[in-house]
Amino acid sequence: MLKVSHLTKEYGKVLANDNISFTVNDGEIAVLAGPNGAGKSTVIKCISGLLRFKGEIFIDGHPNKTIEAKKVFGYIPEIPAPFDVLTVEEHMEFTARAYKLENYTQRLQELLKRMELWDKKDKLGKELSKGMQQKLSICCALLPNPKVLLFDEPFVGLDPHAIKELKNIFMELKNNGCSVLVSTHMLDSVAEFWDRCLILMNGKIAAERTRTEIQQKGEDLEDIFFKITEPKRSPDFKAEG
């Protein structure tokens, strides 16, 4: 489970996240949606422990900056950053050693094959295309079987095969009880599998819906999104919270 409580983050005078609270339950895929600059990446970076913030974040019950939390969460950043002089396979070995994994060889091979990187296992980080770097970043994050997984714009730069495979992986993670948080502004890319959607606007959660709520109320997620993010077109609409 991922629990974010009263998260506030300021960059100087810019209030990027303003008192944000939400939970992603076990086996749930939550989408963090919002226009450019809404504060999505900042939320993800705070959860990952890359930024200082006010508030509390718990990963599987542990404060996010503790070793216990770091052991059980994975993070796929918006911009992959492989090491120039490690090969694809060495990145996976490095991850396995950092997490002190045992008996990981089969999983390592399976992941690289699924992401069509096995035939590139001896390529150096600096020799990889942007899409290959993204695929490697995904494989490294999945190798330790995390309980909480954060994806920042996961589909950007991936080819159709990798997008299809990643969607299958999302379903597997959900079935295995993982809590997944996906940041995106492309709602159609996550339409098939989200369970909870948080719409961020100007650093605040402007609306939160579960798939069940949307279905019961007969709402349309894209309509809600555009009413919040294009308020001039709907003068009567007021964001929640």
Residues that bind ligand ATP (CB under 6 A): 11, 14, 16, 34, 36-42, 185
CA atoms of 54 and 31, how far apart (whole Å): 22
Of 8 and 109, CB closest to ligand ATP? 8
User: Least distance (Å) from ligand ATP to the CB of residue 151?
Assistant: 13
User: Least distance (Å) from ligand ATP to the CB of residue 65?
Assistant: 19
Residue with tokens 């502004």: 185
User: Least distance (Å) from ligand ATP to the CB of residue 136?
Assistant: 21
Longest CA–CA separation in the chain, Å: 58
CA atoms of 94 and 98, how far apart (whole Å): 6
Of 2 and 43, CB closest to ligand ATP? 43
Q: Residue 196 pairs with which residues in a beta bridge?
A: 30, 210
Of 37 and 131, CB closest to ligand ATP? 37
- For residue 205 the two structure tokens come to 């959660």
Which residues, other chains included, contact 102 with Cβ-Cβ below 8 Å and sequence gap of 6+?
Answer: none
User: Least distance (Å) from ligand ATP to the CB of residue 32?
Assistant: 8
Of 204 and 209, CB closest to ligand ATP? 204
Q: Are 124 and 80 within 8 A, CB to CB?
A: no
